Chains A and B, each alone.
Chain A
Amino acid sequence: MKRLTALLLCLTLLCAVPLCAGATQEEEEEETLAFSIPAAIERLPDETLMGFFTDSVFVGDSISQRFRTYTKDRRVEEPGFLSNAKFLVTQSYLLFVASKNYVSKVSSNLTYQGQEMSLCMIMGKMKPKRVFILLGVNDYIGEKLDKAEEYVTRTVSLIHKYSPDTQIYFQSLTPVTRTFCKRKDYRTMWDQYNVLLKGLSETNDFTYIEIAQGLKDDEGYLPEALAMDKEYHLNNAGVEIWVSELLDFAQSQYEQGLWAPKV
């Protein structure tokens, strides 16, 4: 009897060992899962991110005209730079004029295929997938914040009317140099406009892209090392930062599931 009891006890002990080991293993696995970090979304290569700008148009004034020249020169060696994005730029173009559905008789207008046209009409003809707008400097829009909301919302509304499927992006105003601010603190005014623009993007059908921060020094000015004219026109180094900000934005759209590169 004693032998039988001892045998049964040994058998029981032998069976219990693997069960305990299994439980421990499960606990370990649970611990592992509890402390595991979700795999980070990979940063796409720049060449892939540039696909975000396929069938897009950049609209602006002389600041964007500089961007166009930079892009054209880059495309000599890199034909896929910013994909096939086009540019609609006029040196002294106003956000005020962009908000109209007719051409201005006093201010400069955009032209398309030899014709002066309003921005919304050109959008109706081009029907781009995306339009990236950077305007307001020539309006001194930081001094007219009360008008800024009207100009921006009307521009968005008109583009949607003429080209409903075009996604609209307003880029922040790029910063200005300390030299440019000698007469007035345009730096603060530009920043206030950018804050307003960002706020408007939350209640209107467009997306705000922050491109200014990477161009600012510690005091919020555009360093003269990034300016061609000691005022606000970016040199190539400045435009490179601008492009970098745009690629970061494209990456954020990918991470949020709002865009995927074509395979």
Chain B
Amino acid sequence: MKNNKLLPILGGVLGVAAILVFFLTRGVPGNTPAAEKLPLLQAAQKAIPGLDSMTDYDGDEFFDIVGVSPAEYTEFLYRTGENEKGLVAREALIVRARDADAAKRVLEVFNHYHAQRETETRSYAPDIYQMLEKSSVSLKNNTVALLISENSAAETAAFLAGE
């Protein structure tokens, strides 16, 4: 008799435990577990056409040119591409920040950089300025991205889908 009462209780406890284990290993729906993320370069190559032909910059240059300190991120990518006149036009700035606070700081730096590029090109290179107007900084989880291109919105969406 006692066993008959205990079995449903035991089954309920096991069921709850199973659900807990499921979510602990899979994460909250909508978040991509860190273990499933591709390395940043691979993820960017899948989403950004022509990335491999763009000029690559190291961490020191990224800090000097854009202003993001290596202390803020675990991975970064900074590449530029020229237009037919030899001017830097396309740019890919991506950071996987160390934490949420770092991501907020990087977001601010990227927005500042975007504004500076608009000032630089507004009169001098109207075609690049137009591209900048179509581009904006995006944040998902702790990944911050600024993709300056003719197809910025699509490339950004494609890239952030995996973040």
Contacts and interface: CB of A to CB of B under 8 A. Distances in A.
Partners in one complex: yes
Interface of A: 62, 65-66, 69, 72-73, 76, 86, 90-92, 108-109, 111-116, 138, 228-229, 231, 233-235
Contacts of A234: 86
Given A72-B57, A114-B109, A65 B120 contact: no
Given A72-B57, A91-B120, A92-B124, A228 B64 contact: no
A122 B70 CA distance: 20
Nearest to A229: B85
Contacts of B138: none
A91 B55 contact: no
Contacts of A235: 86
Contacts of B67: 111, 113-115
A92 B84 contact: no
Interface size range on B against A: 20 to 34
B130 interface: no
A253 B84 CA distance: 36
A231 B65 CA distance: 27
A229 B86 CA distance: 7
Nearest to A238: B86
Contact of B123 (A92, A115, A229): A92
Q: Which of B82, B109, B113, B124 has the most chain A CB atoms closer than 10 A to its own CB?
A: B124
Contact of B80 (A69, A90, A116): A69
A92 to B, nearest CB: 4
B116 interface: yes
Contacts of B113: 111, 114
B112 interface: yes
B41 interface: no
